[in-house]
Amino acid sequence: MTNLSKDAVVLLDAARRAGPSASARERGKARLLAGLGAGSAATAASVVAKATLLGGSAGSGVAVSTVASALLVGMGLGVSVMVAAIRLTPSEPPRPVATQHAPRTATPAQVSSARAVASAAQRSDEPALLPNARKLTDNRGLPAADEGAPSLSRETAMLASAQKALGSGQAQVALETLEKYRVSFPEGALREEAAGARILALCELGRQSEGERERQAFLSAHPTSPLSARVSAACQIGSR
C-alpha cells in the first residue's frame, strides 16, 4: 500500500480536528428536536437563539487565503516546521493571520470551549455490520426536517435570518424580518430573543431613543435575560 507523504499526513491530521462551528451544531440540534416534535423543542430552540444572539455567528466567515499560505508555505519548509506550526504553541508571535481578510473570523476559543461541552465522537473497535443497508439506499425523498414541522423551526429560521442580516451589517433588513416575525409569532417561543435582536438593530441604525425605550422595556420584562448585557452594550456602543 502506498503511504501518504508527510505533508499529506500533517494536513490530514490538522483537518481531522475540524468540525462544525458551535453555532451551526446547536442550530442543527434545535432544528432536529423541533422536527421531531420533542417536548423540549421550545427550550432547545430558545437556547440556540440565545447562543446565536450572544455569540454572533461564531465560526462563520472563516478566512481562507492567508492561513492557507501559512500552512502551505509550512509544507515547503518541511514537516517538522509545519508540525511545530500546527501543534505547538507558537514561540514567535503569530503571523497576523487572516484578520484583514476576515473580520468575522471564528473565535476558536469560543468554538472549542463550546465544543468541550459537546461530546467527542466515540471511537470503538467494532466488528462492523451495517444492518438495513439496502433498505436505506432507496431514494424515497429523504424528508427535510422542516417540512410540515411545527412553527418552531420556522421561528428559528426567521430569527436566524434576522441574525444573519444583523451580522452582515444589514440592520434594516434585520428589522424588517423581525417585524415579520412579530406579526407571524406574536406569542412565539423566541420572542425574547427577537426583542433583543430588534434592539440591536435599532441601535445599529442609530435609532437610539427607540432602542433605549425598548431596552428599558426589555429589561423590565426579562430582568434575568442572558441577552441583557449584550443588548445594553450594543446600544452604548451605538450611542457613542
Q: Does residue number 39 form part of the binding site for another protein (CB under 8 A)?
A: yes
The closest of 174, 176, 181 to 156, measured between CA atoms, is 181
Residue choice 54, 101, 150, 164 for contact with another protein (CB under 8 A): 164
Residue choice 101, 105, 225, 228 for contact with another protein (CB under 8 A): 105
The closest of 98, 103, 118 to 23, measured between CA atoms, is 118
Residue choice 68, 81, 217, 229 for contact with another protein (CB under 8 A): 68
- Polymer length in residues for the chain: 240
Residue choice 4, 77, 229, 233 for contact with another protein (CB under 8 A): 4
Question: Of 160-168, 199-207, 213-221, 232-240, which part binds another protein (CB under 8 A)?
Answer: 160-168
Residue 68, CA distances (Å) to 63, 64, 94, 151 in order? 9, 6, 14, 42
Residue 175 or 235 having the CB closest to another protein = 175
Q: Does residue number 238 form part of the binding site for another protein (CB under 8 A)?
A: no
With H, G, I as helix, E, B as strand and everything else as coil, classify residue 114: helix
Q: Does residue number 183 form part of the binding site for another protein (CB under 8 A)?
A: no
What is the greatest pairwise CA distance in the chain?
Answer: 70
Question: Of 117-125, 201-209, 220-228, 232-240, which part binds another protein (CB under 8 A)?
Answer: 117-125
Single-letter residue type at 89: T
Residue choice 12, 81, 217, 221 for contact with another protein (CB under 8 A): 12
Q: Does residue number 48 form part of the binding site for another protein (CB under 8 A)?
A: no
Single-letter residue type at 100: Q
The Cα angle at residue 228 between residues 43 and 111, in degrees rounded to 5: 65
Distance, in Å, from the CA atom of 216 to the CA atom of 98, rounded to the nearest integer, reads: 39
Q: Does residue number 169 form part of the binding site for another protein (CB under 8 A)?
A: no
Question: Of 110-118, 178-186, 187-195, 206-214, which part binds another protein (CB under 8 A)?
Answer: 110-118
Question: Of 80-88, 180-188, 201-209, 223-231, which part binds another protein (CB under 8 A)?
Answer: 80-88
Q: Does residue number 78 form part of the binding site for another protein (CB under 8 A)?
A: no
Distance, in Å, from the CA atom of 101 to the CA atom of 61, rounded to the nearest integer, reads: 10
Distance, in Å, from the CA atom of 138 to the CA atom of 192, rounded to the nearest integer, reads: 42
User: For cell 432602542, what's the residue?
Assistant: 211
Q: How far is the CB of 194 from another protein (least distance, A)?
A: 15
Q: Are 156 and 48 in contact (CB under 8 A)?
A: yes
Q: How far is the CB of 193 from another protein (least distance, A)?
A: 15
Q: How far is the CB of 162 from another protein (least distance, A)?
A: 10
